[in-house]
Structure 1
Amino acid sequence: MAANSSDKPVLEELDRAECLRLLAGGTVGRVAFDDGEGPTVVPVNYTLDGDAVIFRTSLEGRLSRSLLSVVPGEVRAAFQVDRFDEEDHEGWSVLLRGGAHPLSDGEIAQVEPVEPWPGGERDAWFRLAAHEVTGRRVRRP
């Protein structure tokens, strides 16, 4: 028997303010970038600073090497966070696209700390400025 269409969750677009509110409530997201071999996605711990995402990574890692490849300047990148309840078929997803650049020591001192979950050195700090912020939510009517 087919489910009644009124029982199905609805998909709605989120405005920029709601997207930033949802981003502000998290600590783990994914950075998407081109590492020279193609699109790559890496999870990172982050904090929100205005409408920019601040994250840390290791100096030797693929993410840091790729984002430092254009200095000075910004590397095009994206950042995505989502939360889903698979049982209820509800959730949301936010995508931030913009330019990423390394933070100077002075800039690092002015932003909220980011505490990476994994051990080891995470001395490369980056800011991903939001040129575009979009989001969608799946919810029950």
Structure 2
Amino acid sequence: MAANSADRPVLEELDHDECLRLIAGGTVGRVAFDDGEGPTVVPVNYVLDGDAVIFRTSVSGRLNRSLLTAVIGGDVRAAFQVDRFDETSHEGWSVLLRGGAHPLSEEEITRVAAVEPWPGGERDAWFRLAATEVSGRRVRRP
């Protein structure tokens, strides 16, 4: 028997400020980018810096190679997504930031909050993904 639609969670759009509030306390998100072989997504540790996320990766890694640009001061289009869901209650939220990513200079690194990667190894490539679009949705009980 189908559940009564009044008992089912509802989907709502989140405004810009609520999206940033939700991801501000997080530590793990996913960066989506084109690695030359097509779209791909990798998890990263991050900190929120205004409307941007700061994350680190290995210099020799696919993410670093894909987000580097030959244009000084240029950005590479990318997206960043964080979500939290409770599978028991069928409630949760998802936030998406889309914009340009660029490597941070040594000077910029000294001015941003520290990002502590979970995995071991060198993570000396620092990036900022500056959001030009922030969107999100929440599934909640009425």
Structure 2: distance between partners of 1:92 and 1:19:
9
Residue matched to 2:15: 15
1:70 and 1:44 mapped to 2: Cα distance?
Answer: 23
Structure 1 spans left out of the alignment, 5+ residues: none
TM-score by length of 1: 0.98
Q: Distance in 1 between matches of 2:87 and 2:71?
A: 42
For the aligned residue pairs, the C-alpha RMSD in angstroms reads 0.7
Residue 125 of structure 2 is matched in structure 1 by 124
Distance 1:32 1:85 in 2: 23
Matches within 5 A, 1:1-141: 1-72=1-72, 73-141=74-142
The farther-off stretch of 17-26 and 65-74 is 65-74
CA distance in 2, matches of 1:64, 1:70: 13
Q: How many residues align?
A: 141
Map Cα deviations across residues 51-94 of structure 1 (whole Å, 9 max, x no partner): 10000000000000010134421000000000000010000000
Q: Distance in 2 between matches of 1:2 and 1:78?
A: 37
- Conserved? CA contact 2:83–2:93, under 8 Å: yes
Question: Which runs of 5 or more residues in structure 2 are unaligned?
Answer: none
Q: For 2:71 and 2:117, locate their aligned partners in 1 and report how far apart those are by CA, in whole Å.
A: 24
Tell me by how many angstroms 1:25 deviates: 1.3
